[in-house]
């Protein structure tokens, strides 16, 4: 079995970013509108991981949950764990030829529904889960999707890499 060093390196770097963003930057990138909170840029590692592979997206999603478990409440960490599923779904779409921007659009409702459902066992009302968390997640998803599009393009240009070749 041949190890794809670039894929492994990107997986490690994106997982580290998924942990570092809430730990280091959560204090000033976090927006809280109770009962909802969002840490800007926290989805960026997951979105970029989708360009590499489903496996990398899952690993980065788990890293995101770990980062939030260190710094936030179990509810927020549980919400972050849904990034593994969202990233997996997005990576499958990209693997099937769906563009990055369309993938971000298609995964937004999946992301919102998962985050809304995950908070219900923590005592959130249906209104808070579906409206506050669901709608908040969609807004946050698209904000980070825009950042991710910019970063992915910059990475490809600066490093002269093709994410499709890394995924192979």
Can you give the CATH number for the domain in which 161 is found?
1.10.1760.20
Q: pTM of the full predicted structure?
A: 0.93
How many domains does the chain fold into?
1
Residue 59 lies in a domain: yes
Residue 33 lies in a domain: no
Amino acid 1: pLDDT:
55
* Residue 30 β-bridge partners: 39
User: pLDDT tens, 124-145?
Assistant: 999 999 999 999 999 999 999 9
User: pLDDT tens, 9-32?
Assistant: 999 999 999 999 999 998 889 999
Residue 163: closest CA among 42, 4, 2, 3: 4
């Amino acid at each position: 079995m041949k190890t794809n060093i670039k894929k492994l390196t990107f997986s490690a770097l994106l997982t580290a970013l998924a942990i570092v963003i809430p730990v280091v930057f959560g204090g000033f990138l976090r927006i809280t509108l109770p009962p909802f909170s969002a840490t800007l840029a926290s989805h960026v590692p997951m979105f970029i991981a989708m360009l590499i592979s489903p496996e990398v997206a899952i690993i980065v999603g788990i890293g995101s949950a770990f980062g939030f478990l260190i710094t936030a409440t179990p509810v927020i960490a549980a919400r972050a764990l849904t990034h593994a599923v969202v990233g997996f779904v997005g990576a499958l779409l990209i693997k099937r030829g769906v563009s990055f921007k369309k993938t971000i659009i298609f995964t937004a409702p999946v992301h919102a529904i998962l985050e809304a459902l995950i908070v219900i066992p923590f005592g959130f009302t249906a209104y808070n889960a579906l409206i506050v968390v669901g709608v908040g997640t969609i807004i946050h998803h698209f904000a980070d999707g825009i950042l991710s599009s910019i970063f992915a393009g910059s990475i490809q240009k600066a490093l002269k890499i093709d994410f499709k070749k890394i995924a192979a």
